[in-house]
Amino acid sequence: MGKFLFVFIIIIGTTNKLSAQYVDQNFSIKPFKIFVQIIDTAKEGCWTNISETRAYIKNKLSESGTQLIDDQSKTDLTLTFSLMAQRTGHGWCYGNMSLRLTANVMIGEYMILGTFYQKNNVDIKSQHFNNSALKWLEKTLPDLK
């Protein structure tokens, strides 16, 4: 139980950081070529519908007119969905879902990773994150317009 509390506090602490944000209401991902990346660090069966989640994201973006590219080296922006979760000693899954839109930007001779958008969600589920990941994406993806 002590390990669970420690990890849960770390997750909460990293997702509730105060930061200054500016959102340009005119920004849209539609003129850009987007690569969809899925990062799965869930353990012990806490997330098993990874390919369904990837297809869901791609379908929602395609429906809105977004240009999707399968070769990350030829894209303008990368949309990354990641899910980190593990089971407690009582069988519940706890973890963090994150959606991030990034771009590699060259400034002189330096490559800088720029973040255009990021949203996180900490949750705990009695079985797994399969349905809750899709529901969270359903609410979150329209932010990217």
pLDDT in tens, 56-83: 999 999 999 999 999 988 889 999 999 9
Tell me whether residue 21 is in a domain: no
Tell me whether residue 90 is in a domain: yes
**pLDDT of res. 16:** 47
**pLDDT of res. 42:** 94
DSSP H or E stretch at residue 55: helix 50-63
Return d(Cα 132, Cα 94) in angstroms, integer.
12
Helix axes 50-63, 130-140, angle to 10 degrees: 20
- Among candidate residues 115, 136, 116, 127, the one with its CA nearest the CA of residue 57: 136
The CATH number given to whatever domain includes residue 105 is 3.40.50
Tell me whether residue 130 is in a domain: yes
Say whether pLDDT at 6 is over 60.
no
State the pTM of this model. Answer: 0.79
Residue 130 near residue 47 (C-beta atoms within 8 A):
yes
Tell me whether residue 69 is in a domain: yes
Structural domain of 99:
2-16+26-144
Number of domains present in the structure of the chain: 1
